[in-house]
Structure 1
Amino acid sequence: MADGWTDQKRRTLINFLVYCPKGTVFLKTVDVSDVSKTARLLYQLFREVVLYVGVENIVHMVTDNAANYVAVGRLLMEEFPSIFWSPCTAHCINLILQDIGKLQSVCCVVKHVYGITKYIYNHCYPLYLMRKFTGGKEILRPAPTRFATNFIALQSILAYKDELRAMVTFRKWVSSAYAKDIKGKKFVESVLDSLFWEECAVIVRMSEPLVRVLRLVDGDDRPSMGYLYDAIHHAKEEMMRRFQKRKSRVKPFIDIINNRWDGQFCRSLYATAFWLNPRFQYDANIMDKHMSTISGLLDVLEKYAHGNLPLQSKITGEMKFFRNAEHDFDQASAINNRTLMPPESLWAFSLPAGQNSVEFDAFDMLGQPWRLKISVRNEGKYPKPWISGQWGIYVLQKRLRQGDRVTLTMHDQENGANNYRIIAERKHFGFWYSIDQ
């Protein structure tokens, strides 16, 4: 992986990192401040790294999406046919949000939100009242160069729509000097603008599935590559489902996603990761919808084997074992972990537009339902999910202690609904045992 950045001394640096099963390892930093970062120069730099690590040890290289890095990726794949290159997924999702942010309807709403938040945070008394009405919570402000932040800011302000409107009709506000000056009147007019709130709700409902994908790929807990293919398709399906009767509204959003997905994502690589993810492979309903992924898988395996017929034959045999759940793939531990939900995929829970929580019933091994609640905190660059509801009672009844493992899994049903299960386990002599048994 290559990560370009500029330090406090305005030096242009490129960090090289290696990801392996044991984690991410820092390799080296190169100062390229004194040279023009042409594709040819970067290619020589990357080539040195490839040869140092060893071509046989590299499967995939990731850089940002700039044109010179794209050219480098092509040159590397030409010289080293077994290596895959793709741009940073989080960067690509950010570019999708940037393109969406250029739509006139979105620009107007973001500008409107910026005007409201700028007035609040530039004046002490309005800021005091806002915090009073929101219970001490902050409203995230749009940022001109941080595209995802703008859409998260729309979600933030929409969540406090009623509080803001109550604030500007509050008698102490109405009688204050702020309510009587020109800027204050404009602020009140903006907050009470019904058309703005309607349009804000529409954009939040359309963009929220995509923001959820960004949170998934931008998480540090676990690799999300095996979930991206499904997440992108699920996001598009959800956007179209939300606007079945207003397809013209969602079409520009879908077109932007498709253009980036087709032009910049290495779809075969993500299709392969999807196919090799047990979470999806053993769910017939999901695999039937994405049968075309087998084509991407074969393309990737052929490129990886690169004419090595014995290796290609061995891989094909392993694919059959995996697909048919034979040998080690049919062991109890492998089966139980098929639907294991990564920590960051708590974002997979569909949150209603403008809300920051969702409730559901999860059944334990004894068949007892537990009413759980996934909520999104409103602090930090990217709010993190947390779990509540009957969670505290669950912990007490199961007598959980430090070191125990709790697994929450989600299962798709034929009627399209989701069924959730929760399993608590404790480790004895190197093996995990269910606490319910």
Structure 2
Amino acid sequence: MYGCTLMLDGWTGKRGHHLIDFLVNSPTGTYFLESVDASSEVHDAFMLADLLEAKIEEIGKDKVVQVIIDNGANYKAAGRILMERISMLYWSPCAAHCLDLILEGIGNLKEFKKPIARVKHVTTFIYRDALKALFVSEEWLGNKLAKTAADQEVHNTVLSVEFWNSVEDCLRASTPLLIILRVVDGDERPAMPEVVALMNHAKEKIKLRFATENKKTLLKNVIKIIEKHWVTQMDHPLYGAALYLNPGRLHSLIQANDDAIVGLLRGCFLDVLGKMVEDEEIRSKIDAQSLDYEGLRGDAFSNKMAKQNLHNLNPLTCCFSYNCCRF
């Protein structure tokens, strides 16, 4: 009824067959459409664009709001080709994949690479909650495994202050990002109205967690990796428009007098509005309603229940309840 997202997931089977799964997501849930064996095809951008365009035609151009694809160069090029062919369509890389790349990049920083390798060695050897207590207990010291070279290495690691300080740094950098990953990779609620705000919050958390430490260079490198992947891949107007249409988030920003961010989000909303609604009269009507929504004016937005629902209702439900727009 309100449009859907077409999702494409390409993978290679054990026998070398390249399969592409097509799924569609809407407020009613996610559904598998079909799997295509593309092993005999050349996997360039135009082949992928043709394949996606055919599937969009089958579903209906007026029903597909966006296409989400892998972050590979050929897939991203296919997405850009599709947007040129279908003026009302948006393409987005996979947010979960983007976060995976960010975490991988952070994990490869020299400050994190060594402690992560040491953690893997410890957890391969033995895994317990109270590791420090374990390695100084009489039961462990009397065990034959305690006499091995592997034990001595793990023993030194577990009792090393420098090691645990490095682990804390890893957690400072990764935990806020893992929270976003759980949201975008989950099925509980639509992630798009939250993801931009969550990433902004995560970056602020990371900056705050390293602010008390003398690690400005490390913080700079972590933020650089985040910006490299997130801004270049996920900075789409559709995500800004989704946050604009998240009433609880938007009006929290308005109340905080964060005019720059509010203006940026409204710009994203107008970009999407101009792209998706071709009828000038309907577009003007939606624009006028959005100003009422932003300023909490008019019968639909100014009454007590509407204001209460800004923070209580799911953004999707809230927008549909007040007929803000089709997306």
| TM superposition score normalised by structure 2 | 0.86
Mean Cα displacement is larger for which, 330-339 or 196-205? 330-339
Give the strand-richer structure, 1 or 2: 1
- Tell me how large the CA RMSD over aligned residues is: 1.9
Equivalent residue for 1:87, pick from 73, 85, 93: 93
Change in CA separation of 1:7 and 1:340 when aligned onto 2, cut-off 3 Å: farther
Tell me, yes or no, if the aligned pair for 2:241 and 2:266 is still in contact at 8 Å: yes
Q: Which of these residues, 67, 77, 80, is aligned with residue 61 of structure 1?
A: 67
* Whole-Å separation in 1 of the counterparts to 2:143 and 2:242: 59
Give the match for residue 415 of structure 1. none
Q: Residues of 2 paired with 1:204 and 1:18: CA distance?
A: 35
**8 Å contact kept, 1:77–1:83:** yes
Q: Is the 8 A contact 1:17 1:25 kept in 2?
A: yes
Question: Which of 210, 220, 226 pairs up with 1:243?
Answer: 210
Q: Who is 1:252 aligned against?
A: 221
**Which amino acid is 1:219 matched to?**
G
* Distance (whole Å) between structure 1 residues aligned to residue 116 and residue 245 of structure 2: 40
What is the CA distance between 1:237 and its match in structure 2? 0.8
* Alignment partner of 2:151 out of 181, 184, 190: 184
1:271 and 2:240 are equivalent in the alignment:
yes
Q: Is contact 1:280–1:287 with CA below 8 Å preserved after alignment?
A: no
What is the one-letter code of the residue matched to 1:57?
K
Amino acid corresponding to residue 323 of structure 1 in structure 2: E
Give the SS at the match of 2:9: strand
Is residue 297 of structure 1 aligned with residue 269 of structure 2?
A: yes
CA contact (8 A) 1:272 1:293 kept: yes
Letter in 1 for 2:288: G
Tell me what 1:391 maps to: none
- Structure 2 contact 172–210 (Cα < 8 Å) conserved: no
| One-letter identity of the residue aligned with 2:110 | Q
SS at 1:37 equivalent: coil
Q: Which has the higher contact order (CA 8 A, sep 6+)?
A: 2
Residues 110-168 of structure 1 show CA distances to partners (whole Å, capped at 9, x for unaligned) of 10101111112xxxxxx6xx3xxx3xxxxxxxxxxxxxxxxxxxxxxxxxxxx111101
Q: Deviations over 1:243-302 (max 9, x none)?
A: 224332211111111111221113322111111101112221175462322222222222
Distance 1:66 1:2, change over 3 A: same
The 5 A counterparts of 1:378-393 are none
User: Counterpart of 2:163 in 1: which secondary structure?
Assistant: helix
Partner of 1:327: 299
Query: Where does residue 283 of structure 2 map in the other structure?
Result: 312
Paired residues for 1:361-372 under 5 Å: none
SS at match of 2:310: coil
Match of 1:193 in 2: 160
Q: Tell which deviates more after alignment, 9-18 or 220-229.
A: 9-18
Deviation, 1:334, is 3.5
Name the structure 1 match of 2:31.
25
| Offset from partner CA, 1:304-346 (integer Å, 9 cap, x none) | 235x32232122122123213333234554433322386xxxx
Report whether the alignment pairs 1:224 with 2:191: yes
Look up the equivalent residue of 2:119 and give its one-letter code.
Answer: V
**What CA distance in whole angstroms lies between the structure 2 residues aligned with 1:260 and 1:286?**
29
Counterpart of 1:72, as a letter, is A
CA–CA separation in structure 1 for the residues paired with 2:308 and 2:186: 24
Aligned partner of 1:211 in structure 2 is 178
> For structure 1, which runs of at least 5 residues remain unmatched after alignment?
121-126, 135-162, 343-437
8 Å CA contact 2:98–2:233 kept in 1: the answer is yes
Q: Which segments of 5 or more consecutive residues in structure 2 lack a partner in the other structure?
A: 1-6, 315-327
Q: Hey, what's the Cα distance between the residues in 2 that align with 1:8 and 1:279?
A: 47
Partner SS, residue 76 of structure 2: helix
Alpha-carbon deviation of 1:234? Answer: 0.6
Give the residue type in structure 1 aligned to 2:284: S
Q: Distance in 1 between matches of 2:152 and 2:27?
A: 58
Query: Residue by residue, what CA displacement relative to the aligned partner does 1:205-248 show, whole Å, maximum 9, x if unpaired?
Result: 12211111111111111101011111111111111112224332
* Residues in 2 aligned to 1:79 and 1:285: alpha-carbon distance in whole angstroms: 41
Name the SS of the counterpart of 2:33 in structure 1: strand
Q: Give 1 or 2: higher helix fraction.
A: 2
Note the C-alpha offset of 1:102.
1.4
Paired residues of 1:18 and 1:27 also in contact (CA < 8 A): yes
The alignment partner of 1:243 has SS state of helix
Provide the TM-score with structure 1 as the length reference: 0.65
Structure-2 residue corresponding to 1:434: none
CA gap 1:269/1:336 in 2 versus in 1, 3 angstroms: same
The DSSP-based 3-state class of the residue aligned with 1:338 is helix
Residue 187 of structure 1 aligns with an amino acid whose one-letter code is: V
Instruction: Give the alignment of 1:126-145 within 5 angstroms.
Output: 130=128, 134=129
- Match of 1:24, SS? strand
> How far does residue 91 in structure 1 lie from its aligned partner after superposition?
0.8
Whether 1:280 aligns to 2:249 is yes
Of 297, 304, 310, the residue aligned with 1:338 is: 310
Whole-Å Cα distance in 1 between the matches of residues 19 and 306 of structure 2? 42
* Aligned counterparts of 2:295 and 2:218: Cα–Cα separation in 1: 43
1:114 aligns with one of 120, 133, 152: 120
Q: CA deviation at 1:74?
A: 0.6
SS of the residue aligned with 2:234?
coil
Partner of residue 345, structure 1: none
- After superposition, what is the alpha-carbon deviation per residue over 1:3-36, rounded to whole angstroms, capped at 9, x for unaligned? 2234565532212122223222322221112222
Distance 1:11 1:335 in 2: 54
